[in-house]
Amino acid sequence: MTMAAVDELAFHEFEEAANLLVETPHAATTCRSDQLTSQDHVAVTVGSSVGYGAEEVEEEGDKTALLQEEKPQPGFWTFGYYQSFFDVDTAQVLDRIKGSLLPWPGHNFVRHHLRNRPDLYGPFWICATLAFVLAVTGNLTLVLAQRRDPSIHYSPQFHKVTVAGITIYCYAWLVPLALWGFLRWRQGARERIGPYTFLETVCVYGYSLFVFIPTVVLWLIPVSWLQWLFGALALTLSAAGLVFTLWPVVREDTRLVAAALLSAVVLLHALLAVGCKLYFFQPLPLERVVPSLQAASLPPNILLPPTQPHPMATS
Amino acid sequence: MAEAEEPLFVGLSDISISQDIPIGGEITIPMRSHTQEFDSSTLNESVRNTIMHDLKAVGKKFMHVLYSRKSNTLLRDWDLWGPLILCVTLALMLQRGTVDGEKDGGPQFAEVFVIVWFGAVTITLNSKLLGGNISFFQSLCVLGYCILPLIVAMMICRLVLLAGPGPVNFMIWLFVVAVMFAWSVIASTAFLADSQPPNHKILAVYPVFQFYFVISWMILTFTPQ
C-alpha cells in the first residue's frame, strides 16, 4: 500500500467507517495489526446490498475498532443503563449545540456530532430551558406592554409555564417516537441502511430546538415584522438541520414517501414555532383602547347614531 | 520506598506472644458516640426537647447557608425539615388574595410545591446520572436549604413594596432579588460542584442555575394587591 493511495483513501475511509458502523452498530470488531497488507476477511460484516470496494472495506477493521468499544449493555431497569446516556462532557454538549445551529447539506448531525453516542442530557435540558424561557419572556412582554399602555390588565399568568412545559416536551419526545416508528416500518419493507435509533432521533429533535431559545429572547423586541423575521430564520435553521439529517435515510425510499415525510416534519416544526409565537406573545389588540375611550365620552343612549356627538332629545 | 520499609517488618516473624498480654480498650469514634447518645435518649426526653433539638439543627444549617462557609454539616447531617419549612413559607408568601373575585394568575400553592420538589428531584437525578457521588437526600437537602436567601429577598421585597409601587422601589427589588439569586446559586454550587468530575461541573451546575432562576422569577412577578 503506497502512501499516495493511503492519502487518496483517507477522506473516504471516514465515511465508509461511519456507514459500516451504521449498518452493524453492535458488531464485534477486532483490531488486527496486519490489516493493511492482508486480504483477510474483516470482522465487520457488510450488508449484502452495499457495494463498496473490497480494498476499502478491509481498511475499516482497525478504524471501527477505535470507534466502538466493546462493553456489555446493562438492562433497561438498572440505573447504569440510563447513566450511559449522560456520558457526555461539557465540550461535547457545546459541540452538538454548535452543530445544530449551523446545518450544512452534507453534514449529517447524527453521524458527525453524535457518532453513535446519543445523550439524553441535551434534549432534556434544552426542552426545559425553552419552556421556561417561553413562559418568562411571554410574561416580560406583558409587563413591558403594560408599562407602555396602563389599560392592559397584567397578571403573572403562571399557568403558561405548565402549558409551555407540556407542549415542548410532548413535541420533542412524541414526534421523534412517531418518526422513528414510521422509519422502522418503512425500513422493514426494504433492506437498506438502517434508520436512526430512537435516542438519536430524540437527540436530533432536541438539539434542533436550541436555536429557538435565543429567538424567543429576541421576541421581546416589540417590532412585529422583526419578530416574524427572527421566527422565520430560526425555523429555517432548525428545519434545515432536521431535513439534512433525515435525507440520507429517506432518499432510499420512494420519492412520494420521502417528500411527504420531510414536508410533514417541516410542517410540524412550523406549527410549533407559530403556535408558540401566537400563544405566548399574543399581539395585544390596540383597537381595544379606542372603543373604551369612545364609550367613556358618549352617554349610553346615543351610541346608536354615531354622527351625533352630544345628547339630543331622541325617541 | 519498599526497600526502606523492609527492615521495619522483617523482624515481625521473630515476635512470639508467650504470655497473655491484655489487649483491650475502647474503640469509639467521638462523633458517632455523640449521636448515639442522642438516639438512645430522644425516646425518653420530652417532645419539647426533641422539637427544640430539631429546630436548632435546622437553624444551624440556615446559618451555614447564609454565611456560605465551606462546612460539611449540610451534607453530613442532612434533613428535610428545613427544605419543607422553606418551601411552605415560599408558597404561602407567594399567595395573594383573589382580586375582584378572580384568580389573578399567580402561582398556586401546589404549583410552587411541585416546582420546588420536582425541580430538586430532577436536578438530583441529573447530577447522579452525570456521575456525581453525592447521595439523593443530601442533594435534596442542599437544594432546599439554599432557597433561604430567596425567602429573605421575598421578605425584603414585601417590605419595600409596602412603601408603594414606583420605579425606584422596583429597582431596589430587582437588585435585591438578583443578589439573593446569585447567593443561592453560589451556595449550592459550593456543595454540589465538588461531587462531580471536572468535565461535568458545568453540566451539573446549569440546572441548579435554572432552578433558582425560575424561583426568582416567581418572586419577581409577585405583585401584592
B224 — pLDDT class (breaks 50, 70, 90): low
A221, B78, B145, B152, B191 from B54: Cα distances, Å: 51, 11, 15, 21, 22
The yes-or-no verdict on residue A9 having pLDDT over 60 is: no
Share of chain B above pLDDT 90, in %: 17
Rounded distance between C-alpha atoms, residue A27 and residue A20, angstroms: 10
Other CB atoms within 10 Å distance of the CB of residue B167: 8
Rounded distance between C-alpha atoms, residue A250 and residue A243, angstroms: 10
The yes-or-no verdict on residue B184 having pLDDT over 60 is: yes
Look at residue A5 in the predicted model and tell me its pLDDT: 52
Query: Is residue A109 within 8 Å of B191, Cβ to Cβ?
Result: no
Look at residue B122 in the predicted model and tell me its pLDDT: 92
Is A311 an 8 Å CB contact of chain B? no
Which ipTM did the prediction report? 0.73
A95, A132, A133, A185, B113 from A98: Cα distances, Å: 5, 21, 20, 32, 36
Question: pLDDT per residue over A42-94, tens digit each?
Answer: 444 444 444 444 444 444 445 554 555 555 666 777 777 788 778 888 888 88
Write the burial class of residue A280 (CB in 10 Å: 0-12 exposed, 13-18 middle, 19+ buried): buried
Rounded distance between C-alpha atoms, residue A50 and residue A48, angstroms: 6
Question: pLDDT per residue over A245-271, tens digit each?
Answer: 888 877 777 888 888 888 888 999 899
> Which residue type is seen at A144?
L
What is the 3-class SS of B32-67, one letter each residue? Answer: HHHHHHHHHHCCCCCHHHHHHHHHHHHHHHHHHHHH
Section A196-211 average pLDDT: 87
Residue of A nearest to B214 (CA): A132
Section B163-171 average pLDDT: 78
Residue B210: which of A79, A83, A129 has the nearest Cβ? A129
Q: With H, G, I as helix, E, B as strand and everything else as coil, classify residue B10.
A: helix
Question: pLDDT per residue over A124-181, tens digit each?
Answer: 999 999 999 998 888 888 888 887 777 777 777 778 888 888 999 999 899 989 988 8
Rounded distance between C-alpha atoms, residue A242 and residue A205, angstroms: 7
Look up cell 452498530; give the residue. A25
Question: pLDDT per residue over B212-221, tens digit each?
Answer: 999 998 888 8
Look at residue B88 in the predicted model and tell me its pLDDT: 92
- Chain A: closest CA distance from residue B213 (Å): 10
Q: Is A136's CB within 8 Å of B131's CB?
A: no
Query: Is residue B215 within 8 Å of B115, Cβ to Cβ?
Result: yes
For residue B123, the chain A residues in CB contact (below 8 A) are none
For residue A124, the chain B residues in CB contact (below 8 A) are 126
> Which residue type is seen at A265?
V
Is A282 an 8 Å CB contact of chain B? no
Q: Is A158's CB within 8 Å of B199's CB?
A: no
The yes-or-no verdict on residue A311 having pLDDT over 60 is: no
Rounded distance between C-alpha atoms, residue A224 and residue A87, angstroms: 42
User: From the candidates A83, A86, A124, which should be mutated to test the interface with B, based on the most B CB atoms within 10 A?
Assistant: A86
**Which pTM does this prediction carry?**
0.70
User: From the candidates A85, A90, A143, A154, which should be mutated to test the interface with B, based on the most B CB atoms within 10 A?
Assistant: A90
For residue A93, the chain B residues in CB contact (below 8 A) are 203
For residue A161, the chain B residues in CB contact (below 8 A) are 111, 115
Is A86 an 8 Å CB contact of chain B? yes
B167 — pLDDT class (breaks 50, 70, 90): confident
- Chain B: closest CA distance from residue A138 (Å): 12
Residue B104: which of A85, A155, A161 has the nearest Cβ? A155
Q: Which of residues 118-157 of B touch A (CB under 8 A)?
A: 126, 128-131
Is B186 an 8 Å CB contact of chain A? no
For residue B126, the chain A residues in CB contact (below 8 A) are 86, 121, 124-125
A4, A97, A126, A152, B147 from B153: Cα distances, Å: 69, 35, 28, 28, 10
What is the 3-class SS of B122-151, one letter each residue? Answer: HHHHHHHHCCCCCCHHHHHHHHHHCCHHHH
Look at residue A215 in the predicted model and tell me its pLDDT: 92
Ranked by mean pLDDT, the top range of A142-146, A288-292, B74-78, B100-104 is A142-146
- Chain A: closest CA distance from residue B187 (Å): 22
The yes-or-no verdict on residue A20 having pLDDT over 90 is: no
Section A105-110 average pLDDT: 72
Which DSSP category does B159 fall into?
H
Task: Give which of A280, A297, A163, A137 is closest to A220, Cα–Cα.
Answer: A137
Share of chain B above pLDDT 70, in %: 76
